Chains A and B, each alone.
Chain A
Amino acid sequence: MIEFVLAFAFIIISIFFAGIFRKFIARMHNRVGPPIIQPFYDLIKLFSKKTTKYKNPIFHAVPYASIITSIVIIILISSAFVGTDSLFDFDYNFLVLGYLFILVDTFYIFGAVASRSPFAIQSSMRELLLMLGYELSFMMVLSIFFAKTGIVSLADFDVEFAFVQAPVASILLVLIGFVIVRITPFDVVNAETELSAGFFAEYYGKDLALLEIAEFIKDLAFGLMAGLLLFGKVFALPAALGFVFFYALMQATSPRYCTFRTAKIFLIIAILAFIDLFLLV
Chain B
Amino acid sequence: MSIKKSPWVSFFNAGGCNGCTLEVLACTNPRYDVSRFGIEIKASAKHADVLVVTGIVNKQNKSRLLNIYEQLAEPKRVVAIGACALTGGIYKDSHAHAGPVDKIIPVTVFVPGCPPRPESIIKGILEALK
Contacts and interface: CB of A to CB of B under 8 A. Distances in A.
Given A41-B5, A45-B5, A45-B49, A31 B36 contact: yes
A201 interface: yes
A208 interface: yes
B74 A50 contact: yes
Contact of A33 (B3, B33, B47): B33
A41 B6 contact: yes
A75 B50 CA distance: 38
B36 A34 contact: yes
A33 B38 CA distance: 8
B2 A208 contact: no
Contacts of A205: 73
Given A32-B36, A33-B36, A45-B6, A201 B74 contact: no
Interface string A114-136: 00000100000000000000000
Contacts of A31: 30, 33, 35-36
A192 B49 CA distance: 18
Interface in B29-45: 30, 33, 35-36, 38, 42-44
Given A31-B30, A38-B38, A42-B6, A202 B46 contact: yes
A204 B46 contact: yes
A241 interface: no
Nearest to A201: B44
Contacts of B74: 49-50
A35 B33 CA distance: 13
Most buried by A among B30, B33, B35, B49: B35
A31 to B, nearest CB: 4
Interface string B35-73: 110100011101101000000000000000000000001
A119 B2 CA distance: 29
Nearest to B49: A45
A193 B35 CA distance: 18
A201 B46 CA distance: 7
Contacts, number: 66
Given A34-B36, A45-B5, A51-B73, A29 B43 contact: no
B43 A196 contact: yes
B73 to A, nearest CB: 5
Interface string A210-226: 00000000000000000
Most buried by A among B38, B47, B74: B47
A41 B2 contact: yes
Contacts of A4: none
A30 interface: yes
A34 B47 contact: no
B39 to A, nearest CB: 9
Nearest to B41: A192
A258 B95 CA distance: 41
Interface of A: 22, 26, 29-35, 38, 41-42, 44-45, 48-51, 119, 192-193, 196-197, 200-205, 208
4 A-B pairs with the lowest CB-CB distances in the bound complex, closest first: A41-B5, A45-B2, A41-B6, A196-B43
19 contacts: A29-B30, A33-B33, A34-B36, A38-B38, A42-B6, A42-B8, A44-B2, A44-B6, A45-B2, A49-B74, A50-B73, A196-B43, A197-B42, A197-B47, A200-B44, A200-B47, A201-B44, A202-B44, A204-B73
